[in-house]
């Protein structure tokens, strides 16, 4: 007899960050389909309940509550922004359920009820800073969206720039919905300051506005590129082609891995994702479902405590390579990679760590580590 | 151990509840009502609403503080601050320290814990104020010892008397005049200073005494920011 496992899926289809959340939704549903093929022999079937929280923190909270109390889900896959995660964490903690969170974030959190599958700062920003310092210089201009993730990321970047003898020439925060007009004075200031590179923590739909305004002002990526943690294939796809090329992003995964691989399971995946702007958040959303499926098969039980017990230290073959859940902090061992953006909307990987990097969500000092 | 009434007086305090409207603000305001503490909810915090407030329960939403007016930050800092944290990240903790938070509440806040946070914050403030008073008093005392020493030295140098005799002269004078030993010492130094400037010479003693008015304002030297 088949045991149906209801799970909640919580990604926004509208609002400022829906571009990327839609790709996470796509990955989750695709992974559930693949997982079910494996799970059927164990007598399990995952049944997704999808709801659209419309980028509203209040809806994230109330909808996750409903998924648990009305649909009986024991697991939720979801959330992009930190504020949406913070809205869901108390709910899963209260009911002792699980949240799988597939997004890079600022760290400084541990909940026993959350599995964090995106990169934390020691896995992307340090690698990126080291790369940018050595390739372009240490004088930096910071531009971000106006919320906690950019503040924290910029805090780390500032510490590193200052620690390595560079200068922070400017720091600006704009609304997550900022328009081209709002970016224009920022870009003019950047042109006047002449930094070695720009560190962008602009997220969501305003990313395109920023890169396009940059290109329209005639700034040259070859001498003054934008370095980012959040500009992925999804953001490149949503901007004009002339604005895309020759900038840098640090992430554990780029779509080009999938496109250039000859591993059979990645070839299948590449076929299944034609036309989807596959990106680091897509990938985390994909492999975290695989992790859950594997945990289900091992635990043979859906109770949170049983699933958590087997998830700690569990490894899975993700599209980026083999990753592992850290048994102590519930974050994921992932690769550090630098991609250079290309006009076709993909990234060419220009640097990568030899092995997965241990997650250190409570990173306290920022000495460039031996990766 | 001595028993102290840590909750007495709480109902006479004015609370500024600086939280965005919503479930969390409602929960804390209801708990304040149960505690019988008068409050007013203001968001975002505004100067005019905070003037008569003793204690603020303050949501550390970084977006609200990163561009906040300095005068308003200073006003908040001078209150007893209970911070409500949603993030435990360095930026938010930095803010909690900058605002001199005396205790913390963690989101999602439960009714249990609100009173404890308030009592702890009020106590922290009292400890701090007592320390400041004590420091000011001690500084005053050091200052007075210094002045008496200088006056004594002047008397010893000019009259060739001993340390004990010089002190006796100052003390007798203070008893006659019914004023403090320090005041007598001060008038001696002032007279000495006037004399020396009339004669157009400066001695090591008088030049060091000239710095005296600056160090006399001991109260302003130590200020807890």
Q: Is residue B19 included in any domain, yes or no?
A: yes
CATH number of domain containing B208: 1.10.10.10
In tens, the pLDDT along A265-291 reads 898 999 999 888 999 999 999 999 999
Q: How confident is the model at residue A82 (pLDDT cuts 50, 70, 90)?
A: very high
pLDDT at B30 over 80: yes
The answer as to whether B182 is a domain residue is yes
Task: Assess whether pLDDT exceeds 80 at residue B212.
Answer: no
The CATH number of the domain holding residue B63 is 3.40.50.2300
Residue A234 and residue A136 share a domain: yes
Is the separation of the CB atoms in A117 and A288 below 8 Å? yes
Do B155 and B207 fall within a single domain? yes
Residue B160, domain member (yes or no) = yes
Is A86–B22 a contact, with Cβ atoms under 8 angstroms apart?
no
Are A25 and A171 contained in the same domain?
no
A310 and A220 in a common domain: no
Whether A325 and A345 share a structural domain: no
User: Could you tell me the residue range of the domain that residue B85 belongs to?
Assistant: 10-112
pTM of the model as a whole: 0.86
Do A37 and A100 belong together in one domain? yes
pLDDT at A59: 95
**Residues B172 and B202 grouped into a single domain:** yes
Answer whether residue A226 is part of any domain.
yes
Question: Contacts of residue A147 in chain B, CB cutoff 8 Å?
Answer: 62-63
A205 falls within a domain: yes
Regarding whether A201 and A276 lie in a shared domain, the answer is no
Boundary (domain end) residue, out of B112, B144, B162: B112
Residues B89 and B58 in one domain: yes
Q: Does B92 touch chain A (CB under 8 A)?
A: yes
Helices (H), chain B: 23-35, 47-50, 62-65, 70-77, 90-98, 114-159, 163-177, 181-199, 204-209, 212-216, 218-221
| pLDDT value at A313 more than 90 | yes
Of A210, A6, A28, nearest to A103 by C-alpha is A28
Query: Could you say which of B84, B112, B140 is where a domain stops?
Result: B112
Count of CB contacts below 8 A, A vs B?
35
Residue B175 lies in a domain: yes
Disruptive mutation site among B63, B90, B98, B109 for chain A (greatest number of A CBs within 10 Å): B90
Alpha helices, DSSP H, located in A44-169: 57-70, 82-95, 121-135, 148-163
Q: In chain B, what percentage of residues exceed pLDDT 90?
A: 56
**Does residue A286 belong to any structural domain of this protein?**
yes
Please state the rounded mean pLDDT for residues A49-59.
94
Q: A90 to chain B: which residues are within 8 Å by CB?
A: 107-108
**What is the domain count for chain B?**
2
Q: Looking at the structure, tell me whether residues B19 and B73 fall in a common domain.
A: yes
Q: Is the Cβ pair B90, A173 closer than 8 Å?
A: no
Segment B172-185, tens digit of pLDDT: 999 998 998 889 99
Give domain status of residue B80, yes or no: yes
* pLDDT over 90 (residue B197): no
Both B152 and B61 in a single domain?
no
Instruction: Determine the 3-state secondary structure of A334 from DSSP.
Output: strand
pLDDT score for A265: 87
| pLDDT beyond 90 at B209 | no
A11 and A92, same domain (yes or no): yes
Residue A207 tokens read as 């990313």
Determine contact: B172 vs chain A, CB below 8 A: no
At A257-267, the pLDDT tens digits run 998 988 888 98
Report if residue A302 sits inside a domain.
yes
Q: What ipTM does this complex have?
A: 0.85
Q: Do B66 and A173 touch (CB under 8 A)?
A: yes
pLDDT per residue over A171-222, tens digit each? Answer: 999 999 999 999 999 999 999 999 999 999 999 889 999 999 999 999 999 9
Q: Is residue B26 part of a domain?
A: yes
Distance CA A196, CA B55 (A): 46
Residues A231 and A326 in one domain: no
Quote the pLDDT of residue A367.
60
Share of chain A above pLDDT 90, in %: 89
Residue A324 phi/psi, 5-degree rounding, is -150, 140
Sheet harboring A75-78: ordered strands across?
A44-51, A3-10, A75-78, A98-101, A114-116
In a domain, A369, yes or no: no
In this structure, the answer to whether residues B39 and B76 fall within a common structural domain is yes
- Quick one: pLDDT band at residue A100, thresholds 50, 70, 90? very high
A345 in Cβ contact with A334 (< 8 Å): no
Q: Is A173 on the interface with B (CB under 8 A)?
A: yes
In a domain, B46, yes or no: yes
Split into its structural domains, chain A has a count of 2
Per-residue pLDDT at B210 exceeds 90: no
pLDDT interval class at B5 (50, 70, 90): confident
Q: Is the residue at B169 inside a domain?
A: yes
Lowest mean per-residue pLDDT among A42-56, B129-143, B198-212 = B198-212
Distance from CA of A154 to the nearest CA of B (A): 10
Same-domain check for residues B14 and B105: yes
Judge if B147 and B215 occupy the same domain.
yes
Does residue A371 lie in a domain region? no
- Of A41-50, A118-127, B200-209, the one with minimum mean pLDDT is B200-209
When scoring A83, A108, A109, A146 by the number of chain B Cβ atoms within 10 A, the one with the most, hence best to mutate, is A108
Give the sign of the dihedral formed by CA A360, CA A123, CA A214, CA A179: negative
Q: Provide the pLDDT for residue A333.
A: 98
CATH at residue A91: 3.40.50.2300
Please give the residue range of the domain that contains residue A343.
121-251+336-352
pLDDT at residue number A368: 57
A26 & A139 share domain:
no
Task: Select the more confidently predicted residue: A91 or B215.
Answer: A91
Q: How much is the pLDDT for A155?
A: 93
Radius of gyration for chain A, computed over Cα atoms and rounded to the nearest angstrom: 20
Does residue B68 sit in the same domain as residue B156? Answer: no
Closest by Cβ to A148, choosing from B22, B62, B108:
B62
- The separation between the first and the last C-alpha atoms of chain A, rounded to the nearest angstrom, is 48
């Amino acid at each position: 007899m088949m045991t149906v496992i209801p799970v909640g899926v919580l990604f926004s289809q509208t609002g400022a960050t829906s571009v990327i959340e839609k790709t996470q939704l796509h990955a989750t549903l695709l992974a559930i389909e693949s997982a079910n093929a494996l799970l059927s022999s164990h007598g399990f079937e995952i049944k997704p309940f999808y709801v659209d929280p419309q980028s509203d923190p209040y809806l994230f909270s109330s909808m996750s509550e409903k998924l648990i109390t009305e649909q009986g889900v024991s697991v939720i896959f979801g959330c992009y922004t930190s504020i949406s995660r913070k809205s869901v964490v108390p709910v899963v903690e209260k009911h002792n359920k699980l949240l799988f969170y597939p997004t890079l974030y600022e760290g400084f959190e541990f909940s026993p009820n959350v599995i964090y599958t995106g990169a934390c700062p020691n896995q992307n920003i340090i690698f990126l800073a080291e790369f940018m310092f050595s390739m372009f210089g240490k004088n930096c201009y910071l531009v971000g969206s106006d919320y906690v993730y950019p503040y924290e990321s910029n805090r780390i970047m500032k510490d590193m720039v200052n620690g390595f003898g560079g200068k922070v020439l400017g720091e600006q925060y704009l609304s997550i919905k900022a328009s081209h007009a709002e970016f224009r004075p920022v870009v003019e200031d950047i042109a006047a300051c002449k930094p070695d590179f720009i560190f962008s923590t602009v997220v969501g739909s305003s990313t395109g506005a920023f890169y396009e305004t940059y290109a329209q002002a005639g700034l040259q990526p070859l001498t003054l590129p934008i370095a980012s943690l959040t500009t992925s294939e999804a953001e490149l796809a949503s901007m004009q082609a002339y604005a895309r090329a020759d900038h840098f992003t640090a992430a554990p995964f780029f779509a080009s891995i999938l496109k250039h691989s000859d591993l059979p399971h990645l070839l299948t995946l590449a076929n299944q994702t034609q036309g989807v702007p596959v990106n680091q958040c897509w990938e985390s959303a994909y492999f975290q479902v695989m992790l859950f499926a594997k945990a289900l098969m091992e635990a043979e039980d859906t109770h949170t405590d049983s699933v958590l017990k087997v998830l700690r230290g569990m490894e899975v073959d993700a599209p980026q390579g083999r990753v592992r859940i850290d048994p102590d902090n519930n974050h994921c061992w992932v690769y550090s990679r630098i991609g250079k953006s290309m006009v076709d909307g993909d990234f060419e990987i220009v640097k990568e760590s030899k092995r997965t990097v241990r997650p250190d969500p409570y990173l306290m000092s920022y000495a460039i580590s031996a990766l | 151990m001595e028993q102290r009434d840590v909750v007495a007086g709480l109902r006479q305090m004015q609370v500024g509840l600086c939280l965005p409207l919503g479930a969390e603000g409602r929960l804390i305001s209801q708990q304040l009502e149960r505690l019988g503490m008068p409050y007013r909810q203001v968001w975002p915090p505004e100067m005019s609403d905070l003037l008569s407030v003793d204690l603020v329960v303050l949501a550390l939403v970084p977006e609200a503080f990163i561009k906040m007016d300095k005068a308003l930050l200073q006003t908040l800092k001078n209150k007893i601050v209970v911070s409500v944290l949603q993030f435990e990240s360095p930026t938010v903790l930095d803010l909690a320290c900058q605002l001199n938070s005396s205790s913390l509440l963690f989101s999602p806040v439960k009714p249990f814990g609100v009173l404890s946070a308030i009592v702890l914050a009020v106590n922290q403030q009292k400890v701090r104020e007592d320390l400041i008073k004590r420091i000011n008093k001690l500084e005053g005392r050091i200052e007075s010892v210094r002045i008496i020493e200088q006056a004594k030295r002047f008397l010893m140098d000019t009259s060739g008397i001993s340390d004990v005799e010089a002190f006796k002269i100052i003390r007798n004078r203070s008893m006659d005049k019914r004023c403090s030993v320090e005041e007598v010492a001060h008038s001696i130094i002032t007279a000495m200073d006037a004399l020396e400037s009339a004669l157009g010479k400066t001695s090591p003693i008088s030049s060091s005494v000239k710095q005296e008015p600056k160090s006399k304002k001991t109260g302003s030297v130590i200020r807890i920011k």
